[in-house]
Amino acid sequence: MIFGPVLWCNRVFLEQFFILNLSFLKNWPFYDLDSYYAKEMQKIICFIFLGLISNQCLAEVCFKNEAEYQAAKEKLPALLQGIPIYLGYGGFKATVASRLNFADGELKFDLQAATIIGATTVSEYVNLCVDDRTVTLNYKNGKSEKVQLTSKGVEVKGVTLAKLANQAAYIESQKSVFNRDPSLDKTHSTPASVRSEQ
Amino acid sequence: MKNNIHQIAFWTLLCFTVVSSAGNVKRDLASVGIKSKEAVKFYDKGEIAFSDTGKINEYQGVLVRLDEPNTSYANLDLYLFPNEPKIAMSSDLCQQYLSKLFGAAQERILKVEKTLQIYKSHTGPTCEFILADPQSHSLVPFRYVIAGFLNARLTVLAWQLREPLMAANKEKLRQFWDGLR
């Protein structure tokens, strides 16, 4: 739908800078208006139009609780259209189970990860800012972290967490985290290598 | 024959790289300028995947107390603030660092249980507080924090706890702080 005006703007700018001779497009809208003022008006219209487009692309949507989420939901990428979102990863680098959910109406990011060295638990309230390319997790202490949306899920710290089908899959994923280090069923597990070094 | 030599050279170089990089891992608490009476290992934040998620840059890594059987009390997060110009802990300073670590009061969802306390330890005035997560069934329902000046450097220890902290256990965690130099 926006291709027509975009092409027209391209033509206006190209012609202004004498890059192309487009005189053969006599029938194009506004082309007959060959006066200096008409040309200037065309440029102004194009600047406003392109400005609107770029604003639309960069417009950031932020939310930190369920009420704000419901208001912003329609503008969000498909992955964020439904919360809770369960994400998991199982590989050599780490085993991860994570969840973005509302806790008493507030947005919360939970993550449990285990590696060959040890395990960690993250449970932090966040607000989320989303533009057309990236999601930014903003923690309450001011730290923020960019998360890339991919076709499979989200990329956090170089690990692509794939979207899990549902809560049952998330719980299974959690079990696999625990299986890496059975002592984990507490907050920070003692790194396995430490125990073996004793 | 020539290929074999290349292969041997490649694997030797690979093994050397792995062994030497493993040797560079600093597990000694002295690597961050702290000594402990207890047996403690230090894991840099870069070693444990996702360990620094949501934490400020002054977070250093995880300390593991090797003789503590309860993992909730055995593992704690270490923060160091070498640029803090003040040299004594006070209630105001502690409040300031509470906000720095966990967010300002008006933003923070975690609630300070009772109030933060200043008590006297071997390092002088020392601050402690407990943060509770109002969410039922939170993965980390409580956090216990000790903050004070160790070797004239502001040092913060933070435990993630599954259970409310009883007085006897709190005393043990204070004793761990007392064993740091």
A44 vs A3 pLDDT, higher one: A44
**In a domain? residue A22:** yes
For testing contact with chain A, the best of B18, B47, B64, B106 (most A CBs within 10 A): B64
**Res A195 pLDDT > 90:** no
**Res A112 pLDDT > 50:** yes
* Residues A148 and A141: beta-carbon distance below 8 Å: no
Contacts of B96 in chain A (CB under 8 A): none
For residue B132, the enclosing domain spans 2-178
CA distances for A119 relative to B50, B62, B149, angstroms: 9, 10, 29
With cut-offs at 50, 70 and 90, classify the pLDDT of residue A91.
confident
pLDDT confidence of residue A118: 82
**In a domain? residue A197:** no
Furthest CA-CA distance within chain A: 87
- The nearest CA of chain B is from the CA of A56 a distance in Å of 29
Residue in B43, B108, B133 nearest the CB of A117? B43
Residues A141 and A103 reside in one and the same domain = yes
Contacts of B64 in chain A (CB under 8 A): 118, 190-191, 194
Residues A166 and A88 reside in one and the same domain = yes
Partner-chain contact B139 A112, CB within 8 Å: yes
**Res A149 pLDDT > 90:** no
Residue in B54, B71, B135 nearest the CB of A122? B54
**In a domain? residue A35:** yes
Q: Token match 């050279």: residue?
A: B9
Chain segment B110-144, per-residue pLDDT in tens: 999 988 999 999 999 999 999 999 998 899 999 99
Residue in A111, A140, A184 nearest the CB of B50? A111
Residue among A176, A21, A43, A42 nearest A97 (CA):
A176
User: A154 in contact with B at a CB cutoff of 8 Å?
Assistant: no
* Residues B51 and B45: beta-carbon distance below 8 Å: yes
Question: Residue range A153-157: average pLDDT?
Answer: 88
CA dist., res. B181 & res. B178, Å (int): 8
**Res A31 pLDDT > 80:** no
Least confident interval from A177-181, A185-189, B39-43, B158-162: A185-189
In three-state form (DSSP H/G/I as H, E/B as E, the rest C), the secondary structure along chain B is CHHHHHHHHHHHHHHHHHHHHHHCCCCCHHHHCCCECCCEEEEECCCCCCCCCCCCCCEEEEEEECCCCCHHHHEEEEEEECCCCCCCCCHHHHHHHHHHHHCCCCCCCCEECCCCEEEEECCEEEEEEEEECCCCCCCCCEEEEEEEEECCEEEEEEEEECCCCCHHHHHHHHHHHHCEC
pLDDT confidence of residue A157: 86
Pairing status of strand B142-150 against strand B153-161? antiparallel
CA dist., res. A137 & res. A156, Å (int): 10
pLDDT confidence of residue B131: 97
> Which neighbouring-strand residues pair with A90?
A95
pLDDT confidence of residue A175: 82
Task: Please confirm whether the linkage preceding A84 is cis (ω < 30° from 0).
Answer: yes
Contacts of B135 in chain A (CB under 8 A): 103-104, 106, 108
Partner-chain contact B101 A141, CB within 8 Å: yes
Residues A37 and A67 reside in one and the same domain = no
CATH number at residue B68: 3.40.1000
Main-chain dihedrals φ then ψ at residue B23, nearest 5 degrees: -65, -25
Residues A95 and A156 reside in one and the same domain = yes
Residues A81 and A31 reside in one and the same domain = no
For residue A13, the enclosing domain spans 3-58
Question: Residue range B39-65: average pLDDT?
Answer: 94
Residues A43 and A65 reside in one and the same domain = no
Residues A48 and A70 reside in one and the same domain = no
Q: Which residue of B has its CA nearest to A188?
A: B75
- The nearest CA of chain A is from the CA of B70 a distance in Å of 9
What angle do helix axes A3-16 and A36-58 make, rounded to 10 degrees?
Answer: 130
Question: Residue range B57-66: average pLDDT?
Answer: 96
B136 vs A107 pLDDT, higher one: A107
Residue in B50, B76, B109 nearest the CB of A113? B50
Q: Average pLDDT over chain B, rounded to whole?
A: 89
**Res B58 pLDDT > 70:** yes
Chain segment B4-15, per-residue pLDDT in tens: 666 766 666 555
**In a domain? residue A91:** yes
Number of folded domains that form chain B: 1
Least confident interval from A128-132, B85-89, B142-146: A128-132
Number of folded domains that form chain A: 2
CA dist., res. A165 & res. A174, Å (int): 14
Last residue of a domain, one of A39, A58, A77: A58
With cut-offs at 50, 70 and 90, classify the pLDDT of residue B23.
very low
* Residues A9 and A50: beta-carbon distance below 8 Å: yes
pLDDT confidence of residue B92: 97
**Res A24 pLDDT > 90:** no
CATH number at residue A115: 2.40.128
Contacts of B134 in chain A (CB under 8 A): 104
Chain segment B26-49, per-residue pLDDT in tens: 678 889 999 999 999 999 998 888
**In a domain? residue A169:** yes
Tokens of B138: 């939170």
Q: Average pLDDT over chain A, rounded to whole?
A: 76
Residues A26 and A118 reside in one and the same domain = no
CA dist., res. B157 & res. A44, Å (int): 59
Residues A80 and A161 reside in one and the same domain = yes
CA dist., res. B64 & res. B27, Å (int): 10
Cβ atoms within 10 Å of B160's Cβ, excluding its own: 23
**In a domain? residue A198:** no
Residues A172 and A88 reside in one and the same domain = yes
Contacts of A186 in chain B (CB under 8 A): 70-72, 162
Residue in A103, A118, A141 nearest the CB of B43? A118
CA distances for B155 relative to B32, B44, B147, angstroms: 11, 16, 6
Residues A115 and A23 reside in one and the same domain = no
**Res B164 pLDDT > 50:** yes
**In a domain? residue A182:** yes
